Amino acid sequence: MEQFDRQEYFSNRELSWLLFNERVLEEARDKDNPLLERVKFLSITASNLDEFFMVRVASLIDMVNVGYDKPDPSGMKPDQQLAAISTAAHHMIAQQYTTYNRMLKKLLDEKNIHILDIDELSQKQLDFIDHYFNREVYPVLTPMAVDSSRPFPLILNKSINIAAFIHKRNSQIQHREFVTVQVPNVLPRVVKLPGQEGHTSFILLETLFADIYISCLSALMLLNRRVTELFVIWIWKLMRRIQKICLRKLRSSSVCVNAAM
């Protein structure tokens, strides 16, 4: 009788999940779906991927860090899974950008829904952004310079941050500084702009500095590991187990256990 526990009968769990998310992405690329539904599907793939990295990829990294190299049912060790995930995830992210930039953005423009860049704004819209920035954004910004005397600042999980090399426009010394600014999460990332009747225009929060020259600018988002409720319960049980072993072996009345979360 044929045995079905051989590796060739199994697919890796993490790569299978990425294939599932790819099917969701296909819904965003499906011309038969309504336009705004396609935009929602694209958004879902992004949030799904964030969760995947915070939970599943974080677990694999933990396995590699502690030297765990037992293969899964498909025969892949944790380090092999991470390498395969990296390749597949990079491909998926490229497809996400292609879907938005080459497909959905053009279709949104045709429906008079515009996501604009700074150089596409009218003078009226520039005045609006300048006023909005000074009134709403600037009061809650905290730019942080990074150099040898100041450690890299704490970046909150899933927060949007701007990283830039800057120097003063009129400075005689061309000294660059590296700074980071967290886009305030108390404000919408997408700002609605005034525009022509029948047109709806938006812009991302990008204008952050007034009297400086930005030589290099990039938006970034850091994903930290997600500590799930089940993981917390597991840690608590582990701590209790270690405590009992230590009490039994050392015959001590108390013990302190530090668990790295």
pLDDT digits (tens, 9 = 90+) for 120-164: 888 998 889 888 888 887 777 666 656 555 566 666 666 677 676
- Across the range 223-249, mean pLDDT stands at 57
- Across the range 83-97, mean pLDDT stands at 94
Q: Which of 150, 207, 145 is nearest to 176 (CA)?
A: 145
pLDDT digits (tens, 9 = 90+) for 198-227: 899 998 875 544 444 555 556 566 666 655
pLDDT for the residue numbered 221: 64
For helices 78-99 and 35-52, what crossing angle results, to 10°? Answer: 160
Domain map (residue ranges) of the chain: 1-111
| CATH number, span 1-111 | 1.20.58.310
pTM of the predicted protein model: 0.70
pLDDT for the residue numbered 133: 81
Give the chain's mean pLDDT. Answer: 77
pLDDT for the residue numbered 117: 84
pLDDT for the residue numbered 87: 95
Phi/psi zone of residue 152: left (φ > 0), alpha (ψ -120 to 50 degrees), beta? beta
CA-CA distance, 49 to 17, in Å (whole number)?
A: 10
- Across the range 66-82, mean pLDDT stands at 91
Distances (CA, A) of 141 to 145, 202, 207: 13, 21, 12
